[in-house]
Amino acid sequence: MTGYPARRRTVLAVLAAAGLAGCDSTPEAGPAPTETPSGGPEPGYQRPFELPLDGVDPCALLGTADLDALGVNSTPRRSGAACSFDVDRTEPYYSYVLETMIDTGLDSMPAGARRAHRMLIRRDTVAGFPALTRYRKGRWPSDCQTLVGVARGQTLRAQLYPVSPRAFGLRQLCDMSERVATLAVQTLRARK
């Protein structure tokens, strides 16, 4: 984050940690996840083929052209299975996150517009793969996540969160999250 005051770096770090921490929460309501026999498809989710995430570096899922198109102007930062891509030279400041969840399938997350710790979830598709869009409704939403079931028991999580307050509406956040998810899935497909 070149030229970034220490306070803004701290705010970015806190927001990134908060965004990642909220991703592992379990739903308050709704049925328990169902077990799927080994080798069978996840219930209710059909994908064109498997794109396993084992050994995939999340920071390598966006190429130079993708980073330019998204306006990313900082070096991607890896933290475990997640990578942050910051847009932080001019307002509004925001960050994309890609995470490879190799032990969490879409079937372990509630589908439909149920509330899970105040999160709303709706079914979707991204580049032909089953997906869930997860967000909090509010006047100024804090983030939007796109969870793509790329392989049995594995999910690619894309997130867009604004650092600048009141910078984006919910629809724009979710569109941006879906866009980065689509680019990452296209990279995975090209490697297949």
Task: Tell me the residue type at 53.
Answer: L
What confidence score (pLDDT) does residue 151 get? 96
The beta strand positions in the chain, using DSSP E, are: 77-79, 82-87, 94-101, 115-116, 119-126, 129-135, 144-151, 154-162
Q: What does the pLDDT profile of the chain (192 residues) look like in tens digits?
A: 444 444 444 444 444 444 444 443 333 333 323 333 333 445 567 899 999 999 999 999 999 999 999 999 999 999 999 999 999 999 999 999 999 999 999 888 765 444 445 678 889 999 999 999 999 877 778 899 999 999 999 999 999 999 998 889 999 999 999 999 999 999 999 987
Report the C-alpha gap between 38 and 50 in whole angstroms: 15
Task: Check: CB of residue 130 under 8 Å from CB of residue 54.
Answer: no
Plot region of 12 (φ>0 → left; ψ -120 to 50 → alpha; else → beta): alpha
Report the C-alpha gap between 155 and 96 in whole angstroms: 16
Helices and strands per DSSP (H, E), number in the chain? 3, 8
Report the C-alpha gap between 96 and 82 in whole angstroms: 10
Task: Check: CB of residue 82 under 8 Å from CB of residue 130.
Answer: no
Q: Is the whole-model pTM more than 0.85?
A: no
What confidence score (pLDDT) does residue 117 get? 58
Sheet holding 77-79, edge to edge: 77-79, 82-87, 94-101, 154-162, 144-151, 129-135, 119-126, 115-116
Report the C-alpha gap between 19 and 80 in whole angstroms: 14
